[in-house]
Amino acid sequence: MKSLSILGSTGSIGTNALKIVEMFPDRFRVRVLAAKNNINMLAEQIRIFSPDFAVVFDEKSALMLKKTISGSGVDILFGSDGYRAASSHAPVDMVIAAMVGSAGLIPVLSAIDAGKSIALANKETLVMAGEIVIRKAGEKGVKILPIDSEHSAIFQSLEGHRKEDMQKILLTASGGPFLNLPLNEFDLIRPEDAMNHPTWQMGRKVSIDSATLMNKGLEVMEAGYLFGVSTDDIEVIIHPQSVIHSMVSYKDGSVIAQMGIPDMKGAIAYAMSYPERLPIGQPLPDFEAIGSFTFHKPDYEKFPCLGLAYNAGKTGGTLPAVLNAANEVAVDAFLNRRISFRNIPEVIEKTMIKHFVIAYPELSDILEADIWARRIAEEQIV
């Protein structure tokens, strides 16, 4: 039986991972649940899965949760110490890293230090500190398995093939809800419009990132670190049907693709059970109803966030952390109706321009760049 710590248990990845645990109670045991402050959902998860302990963001949330689950016998921790404990709990075999944003970096590093296998959904961890994370994982012999559907698809398309025969990674993107919306109508976009993704069900922040194509830019950088390739060897292709989750081309002209319905459970289950495949009851794509697959090049004028991400990835150093932090600030401002949709890339770009890049950063440099970028990005909004 594999013991799990689920970081981000109340988000879309975490809840789907718990559905898989419920399907296979003889294979998985939940030892730790960690969330931010969704107290009611976390309390219900504690009731169902009886973890050793649970973690929330702050003391106020911890007190609320303790009151809600009074008599359960489950300990409640909070803050950075709590998340580190969740990542390094001795009985845990695998940490499912599904926290949103930069908050996932330190817990993932703690999990690596503790020698835990990692099922990674938090792309910001590799965007901010990919070289450090991958090097540490190699030194500790820690396996990092991707949960994002695109990176799982790449991982599966590389399985059984020689890395030296790979030519290019073809990273597919749905294009989001505004693929066919004219640029001159972007000023009218509301947060609820941006969260209405045509094919995927995701959280608020990730939905906005998908609408701006920043999500795909972050995935380019993540793929570079996960699979040891340059961003020049990763091409983004718009595929609105979201059935081909990504592809790998080889030097003989062959292209290997991984397909499935647009549902995260397949990628999550594969990471949780690798190298086995679990019978999770996913339906096949209805190819007759779909009719045809279409592909397009990204429109960098309509979606400048993708170009900003490529620039950050190629420059490296502390710039990816700055891009990520500025994006988190800008997305939050948009969700709170402080800026328009078109202002998001403007805030990010202005913050990046002001940054003096440290080419070979230590972890402390990256964390300082993150703090700096949040302050500078906020100045672009006020």
pLDDT (tens, 9 = 90+) of the chain, 382 residues, equals 999 999 999 998 999 999 999 999 999 999 999 999 899 999 999 999 999 999 999 999 999 999 999 888 899 999 999 999 999 999 999 999 999 878 889 999 999 999 999 999 988 899 999 999 999 999 999 999 999 999 999 999 999 999 999 999 999 999 999 999 999 999 999 999 988 877 666 778 888 999 999 999 999 999 999 999 999 999 999 999 999 999 999 999 999 999 999 999 999 999 999 999 999 999 999 999 999 999 999 999 999 999 999 999 999 999 999 999 999 999 999 999 999 999 999 999 999 999 999 999 999 999 999 999 999 999 999 7
Q: Write out the residue limits of the CATH 1.10.1740.10 domain(s) in the chain.
A: 316-382
Neighbours of 266 (CB within 10 A): 23
Dist CA 331 CA 341 (whole Å):
9
CATH 1.10.1740.10, domain 316-382, yes or no: yes
- DSSP per-residue string spanning 79-96: HHHHHHHHHH-TT-SEEE
Beta bridge partners of 67: none
Q: Write out the residue limits of the CATH 3.40.50.720 domain(s) in the chain.
A: 2-146
Neighbours of 232 (CB within 10 A): 11
Dist CA 142 CA 128 (whole Å):
19
Q: Return the axis-axis angle of helices 319-335 and 204-212, rounded to nearest 10°.
A: 110
Dist CA 144 CA 153 (whole Å):
15
pTM over cut 0.85: yes
Dist CA 27 CA 90 (whole Å):
18
Dist CA 223 CA 127 (whole Å):
9
- DSSP per-residue string spanning 149-166: HHHHHHHHHHTTS-GGGE
Output the CA–CA distances (angstroms, integers) from residue 238 to 200, 263, 294, 298, in the order listed.
Answer: 15, 18, 8, 6
| Sheet of 28-34, strand order | 75-78, 53-56, 28-34, 2-7, 94-97, 117-120, 144-146
The DSSP letter of residue 283 is P
Amino acid 37: pLDDT = 85
Output the CA–CA distances (angstroms, integers) from residue 149 to 69, 235, 307, 335, 361, in the order listed.
Answer: 34, 16, 22, 25, 30
Classified as helix, coil or strand, 10 is coil
Q: How many residues are there in the chain?
A: 382
For residue 83, which of 66, 62, 69 has the smallest C-alpha distance? 62
Dist CA 175 CA 180 (whole Å):
9
Architecture of domain 2-146: 3-Layer(aba) Sandwich (3.40)
Amino acid 93: pLDDT = 97
φ and ψ at residue 192, rounded to 5 degrees: -65, -30
Residue at token pair 């966030």? 305
Structure tokens at 149: 């559907």
Classified as helix, coil or strand, 172 is strand
Judge residue 23's burial from the number of C-beta atoms within 10 Å of its C-beta, 0-12 exposed, 13-18 middle, 19 or more buried: middle
The DSSP letter of residue 242 is -
